[in-house]
C-alpha cells in the first residue's frame, strides 16, 4: 500500500511576515545610523575660526618668546618639537579650547599662559595654517640676501653689540660655509638655541636668610622656580615675598634684540654673515 505524504504550506502572507520584519528592522537601523551620523557632524563648529590680526600679532610675539626654539620659525617643527601646522589639536582648536590644555606647564612646556594669551596664540597658529593652505604651490628660496653687508658690519660692531660676544675671525669664522642657506643663516642668528653640553640658563634663588642656591633652570614661571645644582640635587621654590630670583640667560641679549631689529637690520646682518666663508 503506497503512502502519500503531503507538506503543508503556509499562506503567502504568513511566509512573507519574517521577511517584512527583517526589512523593517534594517530600515530602522539605517534611520538610527543616519541620525547618529547627522548628530556627530553637528557637534563641531560649522565654520573655521576667523583670525583676528591684532590678536595674531600678539600671539606671534608670544610664540617667538616661548615656542620658536622647539617648533621653528614657521611652526612646522624641528628635531626638538613637532609640526604645529599639521597638529590635530591646532586644526580642531577654536579660540584656544584645545591649544590651552596642550600648553599647560609640564616637562615640555615651562611657560604659563594667561587665558587671553592662549587665545592670541590660537589666532597666530590659525593664521599660519591659513597661510600654508593658501599657498600650496612650491616656490623658490626666500630672497633674504637683499641687505647691505657693510651696513650689517657696522650694526654688528656698533648698535647690535654683536662683537662683544662674537667674532668674524673666531666663532663665526666660516659660518656661511657651515650654513650655506641664507634663510637658515638668518634664522640661526635671529633665534639661536642653547646646545646640549654648553652653557644653559642658570638661576640663583635666595629665600629669606638662607644661603643663595644656584643651578640650571628646570622650571621658571610667575609662581614657581626649580633648578638642578651642579651636584645633581633638585631644588624647588615657591616665588613670593622674601624670595629673590636672578636669571642668567646666555641668550638674553638675543631676546632683547628681537624687539629692536628693523627689517633693514636683519637683512643687512644676514648679508654680512653670508660673506664669512
What superfamily would CATH give domain 53-133? Cytochrome c-like domain (1.10.760.10)
- Predicted TM-score (pTM) of this structure: 0.48
Partner residues linked to 228 by β-bridges: 216, 234
Return per-residue pLDDT of the chain as tens, 277 residues. 455 444 444 444 444 555 555 555 555 555 545 544 443 343 344 467 888 889 888 988 888 888 888 888 778 888 778 888 888 888 888 888 888 888 888 767 778 888 889 898 889 988 888 887 776 554 555 678 889 999 999 999 999 999 999 999 999 999 999 999 888 899 888 888 887 777 889 999 999 999 999 999 999 888 999 999 999 999 999 999 999 999 999 888 888 898 888 989 999 999 999 999 9
Which pLDDT score, from 0 to 100, does residue 85 have?
Answer: 81
Site of grid cell 645644582: 229
Which pLDDT score, from 0 to 100, does residue 6 have?
Answer: 44
Which pLDDT score, from 0 to 100, does residue 7 have?
Answer: 47
Which pLDDT score, from 0 to 100, does residue 37 have?
Answer: 46
254 vs 269: CA distance, rounded Å: 13
121 vs 61: CA distance, rounded Å: 9
Q: What is the number of H-type helices and E-type strands within the chain?
A: 11, 5
Which pLDDT score, from 0 to 100, does residue 269 have?
Answer: 95
The residue extents of the domains of the chain are 53-133, 149-195+255-273, 202-249
68 vs 73: CA distance, rounded Å: 6
Amino acid at each position: 500500500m503506497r503512502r502519500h505524504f503531503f507538506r503543508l504550506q503556509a499562506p503567502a502572507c504568513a511566509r512573507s511576515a519574517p521577511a517584512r520584519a527583517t526589512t523593517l528592522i534594517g530600515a530602522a537601523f539605517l534611520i538610527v545610523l543616519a541620525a547618529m551620523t547627522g548628530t556627530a557632524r553637528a557637534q563641531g563648529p560649522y565654520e573655521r575660526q576667523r583670525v583676528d590680526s591684532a590678536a595674531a600679532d600678539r600671539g606671534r610675539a608670544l610664540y617667538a618668546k616661548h615656542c620658536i626654539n622647539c617648533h621653528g620659525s614657521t611652526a612646522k617643527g624641528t628635531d626638538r618639537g613637532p609640526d604645529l601646522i599639521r597638529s590635530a589639536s591646532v586644526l580642531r582648536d577654536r579660540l584656544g579650547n584645545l591649544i590651552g590644555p596642550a600648553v599647560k606647564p609640564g616637562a615640555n612646556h615651562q611657560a604659563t599662559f594667561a587665558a587671553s594669551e592662549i587665545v592670541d596664540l590660537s589666532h597666530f597658529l590659525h593664521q599660519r595654517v591659513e597661510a600654508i593652505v593658501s599657498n600650496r604651490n612650491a616656490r623658490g628660496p626666500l630672497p633674504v640676501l637683499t641687505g647691505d653687508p657693510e651696513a650689517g658690519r657696522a650694526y654688528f660692531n656698533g648698535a647690535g653689540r654683536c662683537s662683544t660676544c662674537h667674532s668674524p675671525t673666531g666663532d663665526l669664522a666660516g659660518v656661511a660655509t657651515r650654513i650655506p642657506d641664507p634663510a637658515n643663516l638668518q634664522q640661526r642668528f635671529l633665534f639661536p638655541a642653547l646646545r646640549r653640553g654648553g652653557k644653559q640658563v642658570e638661576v640663583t634663588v635666595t629665600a629669606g636668610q638662607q644661603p643663595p642656591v644656584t643651578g640650571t633652570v628646570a622650571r621658571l614661571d610667575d609662581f614657581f622656580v626649580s633648578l638642578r645644582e651642579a651636584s645633581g640635587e633638585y631644588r624647588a621654590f615657591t616665588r613670593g615675598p622674601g624670595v629673590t630670583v636672578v636669571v642668567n640667560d646666555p641668550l638674553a641679549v638675543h631676546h632683547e634684540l628681537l624687539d629692536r631689529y628693523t627689517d633693514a637690520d636683519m637683512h643687512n646682518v644676514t648679508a654680512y654673515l653670508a660673506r664669512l666663508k
